Chains A and B, each alone.
Chain A
Amino acid sequence: MKAQSHRAKAERLGRSLAKCRPGDYEMIIDGAMLAVTHWINVALHTVALTDDDSDVVHAYFETAFDRQHLGLVVGTEFLDGLEEIETLRPLHARGNVAGGEAAAVRALDILQGIREKALAFVSDSPATD
């Protein structure tokens, strides 16, 4: 998928996440994961590190080589952030471990950081939504 389409998806997820309440932590964590994935693809496609038909889906699908390779160019924060959110999912989105609301806040912090970092790679062209 093209970078502009990933950006539109990520921005729409961001607007939807703003409608969530603290008690919606499962969907905040999962929604942040999805949005982060789209922002990562925005960055990687924009710098032409990955083709439009080669999208990052989960950090654990990426090989050690890929993570080093991508990290050297765009920084390790992208896949490290996605991995951190992915570790929250079994505990809080699919599990009942205490601290779901705090985990959701952390997921949103990661999303905000990755969004800003991805936008730094992007020109000012408007998103198509």
Chain B
Amino acid sequence: MKIEDHLDKAERIGGLRNRLDPADDYELWYWASLSAGMNLFNAALHHLGATVAEDCFAHNLPVYIRPGAAPGTFEAVIRPFGDLEHVEGEEAESLVPPSLAIAAAALRDLEAARDPGIRGDMKITPELIDGVEAAYVRVAGIARLVLDGDAADGP
């Protein structure tokens, strides 16, 4: 997507995240943290020219879904890296510039909690919630620094 579309999603998803209770709504609150963080991270990658900003939507990379010429039509296409779904794997990780390395590490911290806490029955503890919060704040803060142009050489 384009940078402005990522920022719009991050803003709205972040708004929902703020309305949810981190303990009572842990699963959706966590998912909103990861999704808003990933949108900001993708926006920052586009801003730095590390990935392509275009209207192709990630679907098990390198496959993207691209709207067709006629409304309501879509096609699956293989594209150069645009939006990332996850920051994992040698190829995706090699795209991350130094200024986003800490944000990428924070995203990997978030991802590490995904399956055990969302699809598994890992106990939801205050420590887990604090860890998710800290990782989200780190991703969002660094991505916004990059987007504001204050972190060309690293935060």
Contacts and interface: CB of A to CB of B under 8 A. Distances in A.
Contacts of B24: 12, 15-16
Given A90-B65, A96-B9, 18 more contacts: A1-B119, A9-B118, A9-B121, A12-B26, A13-B27, A16-B25, A16-B28, A26-B9, A30-B35, A37-B119, A57-B119, A90-B58, A90-B59, A90-B64, A94-B57, A94-B59, A96-B2, A96-B57
18 contacts: A1-B119, A5-B121, A12-B24, A26-B12, A30-B31, A31-B27, A55-B119, A90-B59, A90-B64, A91-B57, A91-B65, A94-B83, A94-B85, A95-B57, A95-B65, A96-B9, A97-B57, A97-B67
Contacts of A94: 1, 57-59, 83, 85
Contacts of A26: 9, 12-13, 35
Nearest to A31: B28
Interface string A41-58: 000000000000001010
Size category of the B interface is: 20 to 34
A95 B29 CA distance: 20
Interface stretch (A17-25, A77-85, A107-115): A17-25
A96 B35 contact: no
A36 interface: no
Nearest to A41: B119
B143 interface: no
Given A13-B27, A15-B25, A34 B118 contact: yes
Contacts of B26: 12
Contacts, number: 84
B124 to A, nearest CB: 10
A84 to B, nearest CB: 15
Contacts of A95: 1, 55, 57, 65
Contact of B31 (A15, A19, A34, A60): A34
A74 interface: no
A122 interface: no
A59 interface: no
Interface string B9-43: 10011001001100011111101100100000000
Contacts of B12: 23-24, 26
A70 interface: no
A44 to B, nearest CB: 14
A27 B33 CA distance: 10
